[in-house]
Amino acid sequence: MRGKLIFRYGAMGSAKTAHLLMTAFNFEEKGKNIYLAKPSIDTRSGNKISSRVPGLEKECILIGESDKIYDKLFKVDVPIDNLLNNIRVLPTFGYSPSCNSTVILIDEAQFLTKTQVDELTELSDEMGYFIICYGLRTDANTHLFEGSKRLMEISDTIEEIKSMCSCGHKAIINARLNEDGSIMSDIKNQVEIGGNDKYVSLCRSCYTSSKGYKP
């Protein structure tokens, strides 16, 4: 049975993580096998996916930059290639996933590598897993992250989780803030882990016209 790879993206503050956790709850109620994961570069909340909504969090698997998705999620030493042949090996390790009952939810998917996203497509196409990735589309310089770029290129379905700029228009840009609250420009380091203390989501008009933005 063929699975599906979905990319749900949104700007900072669009409640992506809350959406992921509520989706996990709904799938669990339907008896699905749920696997939650996030890239280990996101050090907030340790090994948990944690929403800004108080009490809304869940433990997850941490994925390193060099990790193979399949090995990390299912903790077995089986090559990612030719998965259909290798599925017979799984019971030896005490786990036999049902293809049409397994759901993988990944937070902060923009930090995945291109190779890891391609591994997700194999899990979806060859093993029938239903996979939903949540993350940002672009960085503070308005450039695509590696993981987001590949997900935009290859996902079966792409959905936007919308958030609002302070002016009332749709926010699409994740602007990074200086210590004084002004918007940074010409940012050298693409990755800077943080929340509302370091970022503000803006529409394009506000971003381009208010580099002197003050919170």
Residue positions annotated with a catalytic role = 108
Helix (H, G, I), strand (E, B) or coil at 208: helix
**Whether 110 contacts 147, CB under 8 Å:** yes
CA pair distance 8, 206, nearest whole angstrom: 24
Neighbours of 180 (CB within 10 A): 7
CA 35 to mean position of chain CA atoms: 13
CA pair distance 109, 209, nearest whole angstrom: 30
CA pair distance 80, 52, nearest whole angstrom: 35
CA pair distance 215, 207, nearest whole angstrom: 13
**CA distances from residue 174 to 45, 66, 135 in whole angstroms, order as listed:** 21, 26, 12
**CA distances from residue 31 to 94, 100, 102, 136 in whole angstroms, order as listed:** 19, 11, 10, 29
CA pair distance 40, 42, nearest whole angstrom: 5
